[in-house]
Amino acid sequence: MFRENFESEESLFFDYMTHGEKLPFKYRQGEYSSFASNKKVLKLTLHKEDKVGPRQGPQIISKNITHFGTYSASLKIPKVDDLQPNVGALVGLFTYNETPNGLSEIDFEWHLTDPTLLYIGTYTGKGKKLKRVERIIKLDTGELLNTEITVNEKPVIKELKVSQTTPNNILPVDNYDASSDFYTYGFDWMPERIVWWVIHPVSNEKIILWDYTEVSEGIPQDESRFRANIWHSDKFISISNPKASEKPEHNFSLEVDWMEFVPFEIE
């Protein structure tokens, strides 16, 4: 188990990595939030000269290998609507590792251009058998925009089982905007099940976003590492804004209040 509150200048539990511009302001820890003045946070800043790709932007990676357990974090994504509403940039909270079996990845993702949407899912397999299991949710209304499985970026044409689409009704979070406040997100990773959730900021209720229980399709089995990043993408376009692929013209900062991993004892 570990919990990083990012209150000091260095982390006991995470390493910093970028293949992009080597600038010190891209990674700042123990700084006061620009949104909540009494809160010390981690700031990961996407530099406007960072090239396309998740490794080009700033990223933190857990020092310890992680596996089955509960992953959670409190974070606020950058607000871009006044500066560059068509920017092509993403924030990720995720596990990731490449093994001989292929990818082991479970994620939350946000496209900066529409902070009302959540992209959640997994990647497993490799090459032409790379499998993506994904759900897209408009959380301010509770609307399910998509639940699908793709292989090598092509939809799997078949009717999904109940165990792959639960729940069908999601409690909305009124005025949800991932760039307007810190929200707590998490997922429970088990060998045969993954449950994504968010904590309601007023009621403190755990809202289940997806309870996925289909081990043969898309539940990673290999160990991984816990990560967060922000990066420029010109291909992963928001479904609500097809123009959102522009190179960043400004520096945009992700703020992370804390991240935690609690392992499960799996027999």
3-state secondary structure of 141: coil
For 229, which DSSP code?
E
Write down the residue that tokens 């935690």 correspond to: 260
**How many helices and strands in the chain, by DSSP H and E?**
0, 17
Whether 206 shows a pLDDT value over 70: the answer reads yes
As a whole-number percent, the residues of the chain with pLDDT over 70 amount to 99
Q: Which residues pair with 230 in a beta bridge?
A: 91
Mean pLDDT of 204-216: 91
Which range of residues forms the domain containing residue 140? 15-259
The string of pLDDT tens digits covering residues 180-193 is: 999 999 999 999 99
Residue 138: inside a domain: yes
Does 102 fall in a domain?
yes
Residue 9 lies in a domain: no
pLDDT of residue 210 exceeding 90: yes
Does 88 reside within a domain? yes
Question: What average pLDDT does the chain have?
Answer: 95
- CATH assignment at residue 227: 2.60.120.200
Q: Summarize pLDDT for 113-154 with one digit per residue, the tens.
A: 999 999 999 999 999 999 999 999 999 999 999 999 999 989
**Please, which pLDDT band fits residue 59 given cuts at 50, 70 and 90?**
very high
Identify whether the C-beta of residue 157 lies closer than 8 Å to the C-beta of residue 149: no
The reply to whether 8 falls in a domain is no
Distance, CA of 30 to chain centre:
22
- Interval 201-221 mean pLDDT: 92
% of the chain exceeding 90 in pLDDT: 91
Pull the structure tokens for residue 146: 């998509």
7 inside domain: no
**Domain for residue 5, yes or no?**
no
Residue 264 resides in a domain:
no
Q: What is the DSSP letter of 247?
A: P
Whole-model pTM? Answer: 0.96
Distance CA 24, CA 16 (A): 11
- Whether residue 234 contacts residue 54, with contact meaning beta carbons closer than 8 Å, is answered with no
pLDDT at 266: 67
**Cα(199)–Cα(154) distance, rounded to whole angstroms?**
33
Q: How many domains does the chain have?
A: 1
Provide the pLDDT for residue 267: 62
Q: List beta partners, residue 6.
A: none
Q: What is the pLDDT of residues 225-258, one digit of tens each?
A: 999 999 999 988 899 999 999 999 999 999 999 9
CA–CA dist 198, 176 (Å, integer):
11
